[in-house]
């Protein structure tokens, strides 16, 4: 059901996000919150992909896809993005599709993603962001306590990503001008 509904919506945006990374032969990519693995068919076969997700049932679907598509260079782990069990600088780049709104502690997740990604690696985030319209933005902030109870944050803005999470945003694009989801292309600059 998840794949049926969300593949249509998410896949074209994830494809654009992967293109933004500019993956080179032999690169190691970490995907945070890989879910049922709808992205798996989109990665070039010359890179290594590590996907993590905290939800076992979602991950089991991703594992089935990996087997079906015979993706030998994909490795999947049940893991909390707030506590990644990888060494520093384990990955060339990171992809975070549709996950930043559903983690309880975004700052901690971003700090972990920055830690495991190499200096100058890309961190590409695909997500809805809080509106830049002051009225809508106030409304989204207002409903945040309710949306948090339902499991997602509606108050994430570029300001939150730049200033609270300290990521260096290079480019922000959308699939179409009225698309609700942004593709945020950031570079991991280790200070």
Ligand X SMILES: C[S@@+](CC[C@H](N)C(=O)[O-])C[C@H]1O[C@@H](n2cnc3c(N)ncnc32)[C@H](O)[C@@H]1O
Using rule CB under 6 A, residue 80 touches ligand X: yes
Q: Is 181 or 186 the residue whose CB approaches ligand X more closely? A: 181
Write down the least CB distance from residue 122 to ligand X, Å: 17
- CA torsion sign for 80, 81, 86, 91 is positive
CA distances to 6, 84, 160, 168 from 171, rounded to whole Å, are 25, 26, 16, 9
Instruction: Tell me how far apart the 2 most distant CA atoms of the chain are, in Å.
Output: 49
How many residues bind ligand X (CB under 6 A)? The answer is 19
Using rule CB under 6 A, residue 102 touches ligand X: yes
Q: Say how many C-beta atoms besides its own lie within 10 A of residue 186's C-beta.
A: 26
* Element housing 2 (H / E): helix 2-21
**CA–centroid distance for 163 within its chain:** 18
Q: Is 35 or 121 the residue whose CB approaches ligand X more closely? A: 35
Specify which residues 49 forms β-bridges with.
29, 74
Using rule CB under 6 A, residue 10 touches ligand X: yes
Using rule CB under 6 A, residue 53 touches ligand X: yes
Region binding ligand X by CB under 6 A among candidate stretches 46-54, 110-118, 153-161, 172-180: 46-54
Using rule CB under 6 A, residue 54 touches ligand X: yes
Q: Which of 30, 38, 47, 49 binds ligand X (CB under 6 A)?
A: 38
Write down the least CB distance from residue 165 to ligand X, Å: 15
């Amino acid at each position: 059901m998840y794949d049926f509904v969300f593949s249509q919506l998410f896949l074209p945006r994830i494809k654009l996000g992967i293109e933004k990374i500019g993956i080179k032969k032999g690169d190691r990519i970490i995907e945070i919150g890989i879910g049922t693995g709808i992205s798996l068919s989109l990665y070039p076969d010359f890179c290594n992909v590590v996907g993590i997700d905290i939800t076992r049932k979602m991950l089991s679907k991703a594992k089935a896809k990996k087997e079906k598509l015979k993706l030998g260079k994909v490795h999947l782990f049940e893991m909390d993005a707030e506590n990644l069990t990888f060494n520093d600088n384990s990955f060339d780049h990171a992809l975070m599709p549709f996950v930043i709104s559903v983690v309880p502690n975004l700052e901690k997740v971003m700090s972990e993603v920055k830690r495991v990604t190499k200096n100058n690696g890309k961190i590409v985030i695909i997500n809805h962001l809080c509106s830049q319209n002051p009225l809508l933005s106030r409304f989204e902030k207002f409903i945040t306590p309710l949306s948090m109870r339902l499991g997602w944050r509606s108050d994430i803005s570029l300001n939150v990503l730049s200033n609270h999470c300290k990521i260096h945003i290079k480019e922000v694009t959308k699939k179409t001008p009225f698309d609700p989801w942004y593709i945020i292309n950031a570079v991991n600059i280790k200070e």
